């Protein structure tokens, strides 16, 4: 009906002239000028009405003038129509750049698309992402932006946002944590001065007495919006200033707005109320919703009263969101419901309709409750879990009390969404109440299972809940089996009570086989195989069964699947190529299918393989990738698991402090959750770190504790958490021979049962170390050589090098100085080649004892360049020419080199360099620089 063009005269977003705020404006100016300096953010914080949006708008204009591509969103408090409202706004004019905006896409896929879009735009010009009222940004948009911000670095992308001080969350983008150091800045807006307030209220009143102005300042606390509302309530002149009792002013912003609303024309009320219930709306929508009134005329009137504004896109919003919430709040409950009922009838979007339906009734209604449950599911599928929780809460509220089954289902979903939305405390409270309310039986068992999943950080309580669920499951065999399966993983793998875990898993597998549910069979078989293998009695046939099921039905959605576990088992057994093949395939599979939730697990395990193979830098890179992904998935558990491997890689690479910090985080998480295997892992890596630092006493303490814990838990596979061989080494080297021998015997038994080539090699090395500590050098050397060649044959290079290192020490003790020096040089070079800095230092120390000077072969860069040319057969004159120095200087350098390396001739130097005993520092000369030896200059 209403195709009139928009008449001019709406109160538009005319920029007001900014009063005061000189420092802040200068800071913003600097921010605008630094447009191409890589990713950064500026957040303007303060109370409602203090002037954030005013400054933000000015800055957005300045960026436009400076040639930025400006992407804007101004979320409203009740952002309902679209769960991705923020991103949709930002990319309004770039919709084709972000193809997954509307789709029910995986949050990570959306994050990637957003990142690609930002990078694409940033290639041609600086980008500004401008968010007004960041605290209301919808969670799905926030998540995608977090994904992108984590990865942006040198790209010219700036974020400029306003946020309310003290709102939760103040910054859903957590930019202070996400951005590189030094790229985040905030402006906190305080009150305006009296003089500045005077100029602000000058927009409303031409004259004002100093006394009234001071009253306004007192009451408003220097808040310009409040001051403006107070000035408006004076009625356009300096009303009560001259009255005897002075001025009676409303004492809160809400009260001031309320008082003013009383005096607006009654015709406006319906329009204002409709706008307040729609949160964000447009001229067109208002025309449709209010067909009987002249919306355009009313909008103009509302604009003149400073209540509504219409922007260039014909979107309508309150001049300040607080006014909208006051309008909404002052409606009677009945009027509010009638309004929502009307809006529900008109709403085309099913989510919007569900929202208005929820707000128009208090009467339980199974149809409405179901509609809301569906809306919740849709929102959750889009990753809008906060909105899902809201819908679900309404669906719970509106479920008829006599429909116990629906009530339970809706409540369980509500709890799940709240958990996903990061409100575990509320979720927990609701789950407790639900469990308390339900009668015993399978229904309560399901609630207990969900309640147990919430008890993520306290495995003991989680276990107790699952035990209750088991009782409640009663004769419901499939349910009982699934509870047992979960209980088995929890007890065995997470709590580390292997025997109890195995018992549950056996029963679960029996039920799964009887029920014939393949997915459940796969989980039970994999779990049982894993636990029995950890207990030192591998069950490969069970894992083969699980893998065959995986091939049949595909990878399970909630865990990494049997193939990854099989890869782990291969690693424990010493089969590096087998483990690598499985895990590389798992990584490739997860990556190609964009299942980034699986990827951290597979990457974690692949890193273990590379680390064992001595590809330390590669392992380190994989772990970084895994950690980043764990953060994207916002999965704290997998993150805390990765810390163990991260600590191990850092230990090997000699980054001791980083290793200790990561191990400590693993230790703390394990202790907090009662996750004993995590504690044993963390202690084993702390022990290895001490061992590689030469601190055998600390190593013995940490590794001894780790081994004790492993025994207590029933872990008896030396390859799974490889603490036992290291503990033997630490005890032997620190002089606790009895303890070392006792553990050696234990290792012998475990290695025989585990069927692991790695464990057998580790047993050889342990024998060698113990023999060495007892002074039986011949036996030591024999065992250590066997160990080194077994490890090398398997491809475990760090382990092999460690065996050679001890072999060198044994030879030295046996008085075979040259052979010792040769072995130690081999160990040192092997460690150096892998980047195992601490072990390299250990080996160099020993080498120095065996052949003083040979280890100190660390030549300066200048000496290295000369030595390299000597090794290629160049003469002193040729070297002098190539390096632009005099022959005398070359000779002086050579003298120093000989002294350092304790040698006397060019041929000795050449031999030390070619066999790697001397590591040259500095950049090697490219081949072309070297004079050819034959060329007789």
Binding residues (CB under 6 A) for ligand ADP: these are 16, 18-21, 46, 48-54, 162, 200, 224-225, 228, 320
Q: Could you tell me which stretch among 47-55, 216-224, 496-504, 631-639 binds Mg ion (CB under 5 A)? A: 47-55
Nearer to ligand ADP, 319 or 529 (CB): 319
Sheet containing strand 315-318, strands side by side: 281-282, 315-318, 308-310
- Closest distance between Mg ion and the C-beta of residue 178, in Å? 23
Question: Closest CB to Mg ion belongs to which residue?
Answer: 53
Residue (of 462, 465, 450, 463) closest to 420 by Cα position? 450
Name the binder of 50 from ligand ADP, Mg ion, none, CB < 5-8 A by kind: ligand ADP
Nearer to ligand ADP, 191 or 714 (CB): 191
State how far the Cα of 711 lies from the Cα of 390, in Å rounded to an integer: 48
837-850 helix and 817-834 helix, angle to the nearest 10 degrees:
160
- Closest distance between ligand ADP and the C-beta of residue 54, in Å? 3
Which helix (DSSP H) or strand (DSSP E) does residue 69 occupy? strand 69-73
Nearer to Mg ion, 41 or 913 (CB): 41
Name the binder of 714 from Mg ion, ligand ADP, none, CB < 5-8 A by kind: none
Q: Count of H helices and E strands in the chain?
A: 45, 8
Nearer to ligand ADP, 86 or 224 (CB): 224
- Closest distance between Mg ion and the C-beta of residue 468, in Å? 50
Name the binder of 443 from ligand ADP, Mg ion, none, CB < 5-8 A by kind: none
Q: Cβ(157)–Cβ(41) under 8 Å?
A: no
Name the binder of 276 from Mg ion, ligand ADP, none, CB < 5-8 A by kind: none
DSSP state of 96: G
- Closest distance between ligand ADP and the C-beta of residue 693, in Å? 55
Residue (of 279, 262, 349, 352) closest to 316 by Cα position? 279
Name the binder of 18 from ligand ADP, Mg ion, none, CB < 5-8 A by kind: ligand ADP
State how far the Cα of 609 lies from the Cα of 580, in Å rounded to an integer: 6
- Closest distance between ligand ADP and the C-beta of residue 660, in Å? 45
Name the binder of 224 from Mg ion, ligand ADP, none, CB < 5-8 A by kind: ligand ADP
State how far the Cα of 90 lies from the Cα of 69, in Å rounded to an integer: 11
- Closest distance between Mg ion and the C-beta of residue 387, in Å? 22
Q: Which long-range contacts (CB under 8 A, 24 or more apart) does 655-663 make?
A: 656/689, 656/693, 656/838, 659/685, 659/689, 660/686, 660/689, 663/689
Nearer to Mg ion, 225 or 810 (CB): 225
Q: Cβ(722)–Cβ(687) under 8 Å?
A: no
- Closest distance between ligand ADP and the C-beta of residue 41, in Å? 18
- Closest distance between ligand ADP and the C-beta of residue 426, in Å? 28
Nearer to ligand ADP, 132 or 507 (CB): 132
- Asked if residue 53 binds Mg ion (CB under 5 A), the reply is yes
Token pair listed for 260 = 């003013």
Nearer to ligand ADP, 165 or 633 (CB): 165
Q: Could you tell me which stretch among 15-23, 45-53, 492-500, 887-895 binds Mg ion (CB under 5 A)? A: 45-53
Phi, psi (degrees; rounded to nearest 5) at 214 = -65, -35
- Closest distance between Mg ion and the C-beta of residue 320, in Å? 7
- Closest distance between ligand ADP and the C-beta of residue 34, in Å? 23
Name the binder of 732 from Mg ion, ligand ADP, none, CB < 5-8 A by kind: none
State how far the Cα of 254 lies from the Cα of 325, in Å rounded to an integer: 9
Nearer to Mg ion, 42 or 372 (CB): 42
Residue with tokens 């005890």: 731
Nearer to Mg ion, 28 or 613 (CB): 28
DSSP state of 170: S
Size of the site for Mg ion (CB under 5 A): 2
| Contacts of Mg ion in 645-684 (CB under 5 A) | none
Residue with tokens 């992108």: 148
- Closest distance between ligand ADP and the C-beta of residue 9, in Å? 19
Nearer to ligand ADP, 18 or 581 (CB): 18
Nearer to ligand ADP, 198 or 563 (CB): 198
- Closest distance between ligand ADP and the C-beta of residue 146, in Å? 24
Nearer to Mg ion, 52 or 414 (CB): 52
Query: Which sign does the torsion angle of CA 355, 275, 233, 17 carry?
Result: positive
Cα–Cα distances in Å, from 110 out to 99, 102, 113, 315? 9, 10, 5, 26
Token pair listed for 172 = 């859903």
Q: Could you tell me which stretch among 46-54, 241-249, 774-782, 816-824 binds Mg ion (CB under 5 A)? A: 46-54
- Closest distance between ligand ADP and the C-beta of residue 209, in Å? 21
Cα–Cα distances in Å, from 339 out to 350, 543, 819? 17, 61, 93
Which helix (DSSP H) or strand (DSSP E) does residue 370 occupy? helix 366-381
Nearer to ligand ADP, 50 or 727 (CB): 50
Phi, psi (degrees; rounded to nearest 5) at 164 = -75, 130
Q: Cβ(452)–Cβ(462) under 8 Å?
A: yes
Name the binder of 488 from Mg ion, ligand ADP, none, CB < 5-8 A by kind: none
Q: Cβ(865)–Cβ(923) under 8 Å?
A: no
Name the binder of 54 from ligand ADP, Mg ion, none, CB < 5-8 A by kind: ligand ADP
Question: Closest CB to ligand ADP belongs to which residue?
Answer: 51
Residue (of 164, 166, 168, 150) closest to 41 by Cα position? 150
- Closest distance between ligand ADP and the C-beta of residue 53, in Å? 3
Q: Could you tell me which stretch among 7-15, 48-56, 243-251, 451-459 binds Mg ion (CB under 5 A)? A: 48-56
Name the binder of 562 from Mg ion, ligand ADP, none, CB < 5-8 A by kind: none
Nearer to ligand ADP, 55 or 526 (CB): 55
Q: Cβ(271)–Cβ(290) under 8 Å?
A: yes
State how far the Cα of 319 lies from the Cα of 713, in Å rounded to an integer: 64
The site for Mg ion (CB under 5 A) is made up of 52-53
């Amino acid at each position: 009906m209403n195709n009139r063009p928009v008449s001019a005269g709406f109160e538009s977003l005319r920029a007001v002239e900014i009063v005061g705020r000189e420092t802040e404006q200068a800071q913003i100016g600097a921010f605008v000028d630094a447009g191409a300096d890589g990713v950064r953010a500026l957040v303007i914080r303060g109370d409602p009405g203090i002037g954030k949006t005013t400054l933000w708008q000015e800055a957005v204009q300045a960026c436009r003038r400076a040639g930025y591509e400006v992407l804007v969103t101004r979320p409203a408090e009740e952002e309902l129509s679209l769960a991705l409202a923020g991103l949709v706004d930002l990319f309004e004019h770039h919709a084709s750049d972000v193809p997954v905006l509307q789709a029910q896409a995986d949050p990570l896929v959306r994050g990637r698309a957003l990142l690609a879009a930002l990078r694409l735009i940033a290639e041609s010009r600086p980008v500004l992402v401008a968010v007004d009222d960041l605290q209301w940004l919808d969670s799905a948009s926030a998540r995608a932006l977090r994904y992108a911000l984590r990865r942006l670095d040198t790209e010219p992308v700036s974020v400029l946002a306003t946020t309310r001080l003290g709102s939760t969350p103040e910054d859903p983008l957590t930019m202070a944590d996400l951005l590189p150091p030094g790229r985040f800045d905030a402006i906190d807006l305080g009150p305006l001065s009296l003089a500045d307030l005077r100029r602000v209220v000058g927009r409303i009143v031409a004259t004002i007495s100093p006394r009234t102005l001071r009253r306004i300042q007192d009451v408003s606390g220097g808040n310009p919006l409040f001051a403006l509302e107070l000035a408006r309530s004076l009625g356009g002149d300096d009303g009560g200033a001259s009255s005897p009792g002075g001025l009676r002013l409303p004492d809160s912003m809400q009260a001031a707005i309320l008082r003013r609303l009383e005096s607006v024309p009654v015709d406006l009320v319906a329009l204002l109320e409709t706008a307040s219930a729609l949160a964000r709306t447009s001229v067109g929508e208002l025309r449709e919703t209010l067909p009987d009134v002249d919306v355009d005329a009313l909008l103009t009137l509302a604009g003149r009263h400073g209540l509504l504004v219409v922007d260039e896109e014909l979107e309508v919003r309150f001049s300040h969101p607080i006014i909208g919430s006051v309008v909404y709040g002052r409606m009677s409950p009945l009027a509010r419901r009638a309004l929502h009922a009307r809006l529900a009838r008109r709403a085309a979007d099913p989510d919007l309709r569900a929202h208005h339906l929820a707000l128009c009734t208090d009467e339980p209604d199974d149809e409405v409750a179901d509609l809301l449950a569906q809306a919740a599911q849709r929102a959750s599928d889009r990753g809008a879990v906060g909105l899902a929780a809201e819908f679900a809460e309404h669906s719970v509220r509106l479920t008829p009390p006599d429909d116990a089954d629906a009530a339970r289902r809706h409540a369980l979903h509500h709890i799940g969404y709240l958990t996903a939305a990061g409100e575990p405390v509320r979720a927990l409270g609701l789950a407790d109440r639900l469990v308390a309310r339900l009668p015993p039986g399978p229904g309560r068992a399901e609630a207990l299972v969900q309640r147990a999943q919430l008890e993520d950080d306290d495995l003991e309580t989680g276990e107790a809940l699952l035990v209750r669920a088991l009782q409640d499951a009663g004769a419901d065999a499939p349910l009982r089996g699934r509870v047992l399966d979960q209980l088995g993983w929890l007890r065995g793998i997470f709590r580390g009570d292997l025997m109890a875990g195995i018992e549950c898993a056996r029963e679960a597998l029996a039920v799964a086989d009887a029920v014939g549910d393949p997915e459940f069979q796969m989980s039970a078989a994999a779990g049982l195989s894993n636990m029995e293998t950890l207990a030192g009695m591998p069950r490969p046939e069970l894992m083969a069964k699980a893998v065959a099921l995986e091939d049949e039905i595909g990878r399970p959605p909630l865990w990494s699947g049997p193939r990854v576990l099989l890869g782990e088992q291969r690693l424990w057994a010493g089969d590096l190529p087998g483990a690598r093949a499985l895990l590389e395939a798992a990584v490739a599979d997860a990556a190609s299918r964009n299942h980034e939730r699986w990827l951290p697990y597979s990457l974690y395990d692949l890193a273990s393989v590379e680390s064992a193979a001595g590809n330390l830098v590669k392992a380190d890179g994989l772990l970084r990738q895994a950690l980043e992904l764990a953060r994207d998935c916002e999965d704290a558990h997998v993150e805390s698991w990765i810390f163990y491997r991260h600590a191990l890689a850092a230990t090997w690479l000699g980054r001791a402090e980083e290793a200790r910090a990561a191990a400590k985080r693993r230790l703390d998480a394990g202790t907090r959750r009662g996750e004993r295997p995590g504690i044993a892992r963390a202690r084993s890596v702390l022990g290895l770190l001490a061992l590689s630092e030469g601190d055998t006493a600390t190593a013995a303490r940490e590794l001894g504790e780790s081994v004790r814990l492993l025994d207590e838990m029933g872990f008896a596979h030396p390859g799974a958490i490889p603490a036992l061989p290291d503990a033997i080494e630490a005890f032997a080297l620190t002089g606790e021979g009895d303890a070392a021998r006792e553990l050696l015997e234990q290792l012998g038994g475990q290695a025989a049962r585990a069927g692991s080539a790695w464990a057998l090699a580790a047993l050889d090395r342990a024998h060698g170390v113990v023999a060495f500590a007892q002074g039986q050098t011949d036996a030591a050397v024999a065992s250590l050589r066997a160990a080194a060649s077994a490890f090398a044959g398997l491809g475990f290079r760090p382990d092999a090098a460690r065996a050679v290192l001890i072999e060198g020490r044994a030879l030295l003790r046996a008085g075979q100085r040259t052979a010792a020096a040769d072995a130690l040089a081999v160990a040192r070079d092997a460690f150096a080649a892998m980047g195992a800095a601490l072990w390299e230092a250990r080996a160099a120390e020993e080498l120095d004892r065996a052949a003083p000077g040979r280890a100190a072969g660390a030549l300066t860069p200048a000496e290295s360049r000369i030595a390299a040319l000597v090794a290629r057969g160049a003469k002193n004159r040729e070297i002098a020419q190539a390096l632009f120095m005099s022959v005398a200087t070359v000779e002086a350098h050579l003298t120093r080199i000989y002294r350092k390396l304790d040698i006397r001739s060019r041929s000795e130097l050449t031999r030390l360099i070619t066999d790697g005993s001397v590591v040259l520092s500095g950049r090697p000369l490219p081949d072309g620089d070297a004079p050819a030896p034959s060329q007789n200059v």
